[in-house]
Amino acid sequence: MPSLSINFDYFIQLGNMSFPMMLVRLFLDGGWIIVLFVLLQGFWLLWVQSRQEKYGASLDFTVLAVDIPRNNEQTPKAAEQLFTHMSGAHSGTDNIEKYWHGKFTPSFSFEIISIDGYVQYLIHTPKKFRDLVESSIYSQYPEAEIAEVQDYADKVPKQYPDAEWDCFGTEFVLKKNEAYPIRTFTDFEDKAAEEMTFKDPMSAILEVMGSLKFGEQLWFQIRVTPTDDSWQKKGQDVVDKILGKKKIVHKSAVDHALEVPLHLLGEIKNQVMGGEHADAKKSDKAETPKMTQLSPGERKVLEKIEEKLAKIGFMCKLRLVYVGKRNVFNKGRISQFKGALSQFTSINMNSFKGYGPVTPKGDYPWQRLSENALKTAILRNYRNRSSKGASSFALNIEELATLYHFPMLTVKAPLVKKTEAKRAEPPSALPTEGRFSSVEIKAPPKHEKKSRGDEDGDGLPDNLPFG
């Protein structure tokens, strides 16, 4: 049989050249194709970003304060229906809308904040979806009150270090693949009791927020973007892997063209070498169903994954920001909130963890060099409800309802704003000057146009979907 030989003279000649001449030779001998491809890809990304910039600048946003009735008996199941209603904001885009008009699906931000220990539920939404948000809330909480307020996040210093204020924050990501669910509100139901009781996990979060002192603020943000079922298809790959199913590879026309000669070569080899037929080998191997080999715990995990994939999902980003006057600033508030968030941990499934690259650290000298820049960045990304930072991950409506639902009557949270009756005099919703702190948030005039542009100086609007 003829042997294959490789001529190394070309590489030897390259090795004898100076580095600049080597680059020139490689460029002339075909390297220009790679450079051209990279440049074209860069120009294409800039084009798409410019179109999204134009579309993003046309969007107006508003902040809605939601006050729940004092006698609320709705379980998180009501919030789950709320998020189901919100999924109607998703709309597909064709290539013209996506690449010429720059259209993308805007995001909503569901927030729970505490200013001086005064807790308020808020929703940051595009104005064109305000009716959708309000109808979603009223359908589940008919006695709730909704009022438009100014953005509280604009009332603290934007740059750090600051002489009077300090800041700390982080983002939360999932420890495992997004197909694995966190512990949800159904796991907090005591079904063994004579009358089924529900231990609301929101009580721990509200307890931390309600314990803040004068001059402290703690903000929790869940940025959600309606999406399609692509995340569920990825999750199905996880299910198939657990079950030991082979991943279906869609063959291209080239693969099909090569399949015939390769199969023919295999047959010739079997005839000459006296080997077994490939199909005969496969038939000898009786595959044992992987499902029968799973332990009870593994079966439970598989069941939970499939339950998650069966419900509507959103692409989500979780942020936490703590700001306060220097005389009362206590970074331990973050640890307290993390402790409250750990109740959603399921050891054999999923949990939340802090995302290090965006978290300010000052334990070592080299960390202090970037500490204030990270504080400024985490606050800016929070204020802009930006997609920057950690990558988004999928949570379904049950998981979102666990993290964001209005406290029930049994939750002792006296500083959570609650209403007496529906559609009463619009509440101020947040602390006013003289009672809690110098932060005052009032409803803006009806003619005021609330929108965001490029506040971080990167030449792009801050609410675009790309990082």
What does the DSSP assignment read for 386-431? -S-SSPPEEEEHHHHHHHS-PPPTT---TTB-EESSTT-SPP--S-
Give the pLDDT band of residue 409 (cuts 50, 70, 90). low
Is the per-residue pLDDT at 180 higher than 80?
yes
For residues 89 and 136, what is the distance between their CA atoms, to the nearest angstrom?
12
For residues 167 and 160, what is the distance between their CA atoms, to the nearest angstrom?
8
Q: 239-290, pLDDT tens digit by residue?
A: 999 888 876 655 555 565 556 666 666 666 666 555 555 454 544 444 445 7
Give the pLDDT band of residue 383 (cuts 50, 70, 90). very high
For residues 422 and 134, what is the distance between their CA atoms, to the nearest angstrom?
13
Kindly report the number of other CB atoms within 10 A of residue 177's CB atom: 15
Assigned token pair, 42: 């860069």
Q: Which has the higher per-residue pLDDT, 142 or 441?
A: 142
pLDDT at 276: 53
Q: Which has the higher per-residue pLDDT, 33 or 266?
A: 33
Q: 318-362, pLDDT tens digit by residue?
A: 999 999 999 999 999 999 999 999 999 988 999 999 999 999 998
How big is the CA angle at 154 (ends 151 and 155), to the nearest 5 degrees? Answer: 105
Average pLDDT, the chain: 81
Q: What is the DSSP letter of 262?
A: H
Sign of the torsion angle spanned by Cα atoms 68, 73, 75, 79: negative
Q: 209-246, pLDDT tens digit by residue?
A: 999 999 999 999 999 999 999 999 999 999 999 888 87
Per-residue buried b or exposed e for 98-111, using 16+ beta carbons within 10 Å of the residue's own CB: beeebbbbbbbbbb
pLDDT at 129: 94
Alpha helices in 189-319 (DSSP H): 202-210, 230-242, 253-273, 278-284, 296-309
Contacts of 464 (CB under 8 A, 6+ apart): 49, 52, 53, 56, 104, 387
**In a 3-state reduction of DSSP, which class is residue 170?**
strand
Is the per-residue pLDDT at 454 higher than 70?
no
pLDDT at 440: 44
For tokens 């500083």, name the residue. 415
pLDDT at 30: 83
- What's the mean pLDDT in 375-402? 95
pLDDT at 153: 94
Q: Where are the beta strands (DSSP E) in 136-178?
A: 145-149, 165-174
Is the per-residue pLDDT at 450 higher than 70?
no
For residues 203 and 151, what is the distance between their CA atoms, to the nearest angstrom?
25
pLDDT at 284: 47
Per-residue buried b or exposed e for 231-256, using 16+ beta carbons within 10 Å of the residue's own CB: bbeebbebeeebeeeeeeeeeeeeee
Distances, alpha carbon 218 to alpha carbons 62, 98, 202, 443, in Å = 20, 37, 15, 21
For tokens 């953005």, name the residue. 151
Alpha helices in 87-229 (DSSP H): 95-99, 130-140, 202-210
How big is the CA angle at 331 (ends 356 and 357), to the nearest 5 degrees? Answer: 10
For residues 84 and 311, what is the distance between their CA atoms, to the nearest angstrom?
9
pTM for the whole structure:
0.77
Distances, alpha carbon 466 to alpha carbons 52, 228, 235, 389, 391, in Å = 9, 17, 22, 10, 10
Is the per-residue pLDDT at 131 higher than 80?
yes
For residues 386 and 380, what is the distance between their CA atoms, to the nearest angstrom?
8
For residues 180 and 322, what is the distance between their CA atoms, to the nearest angstrom?
29
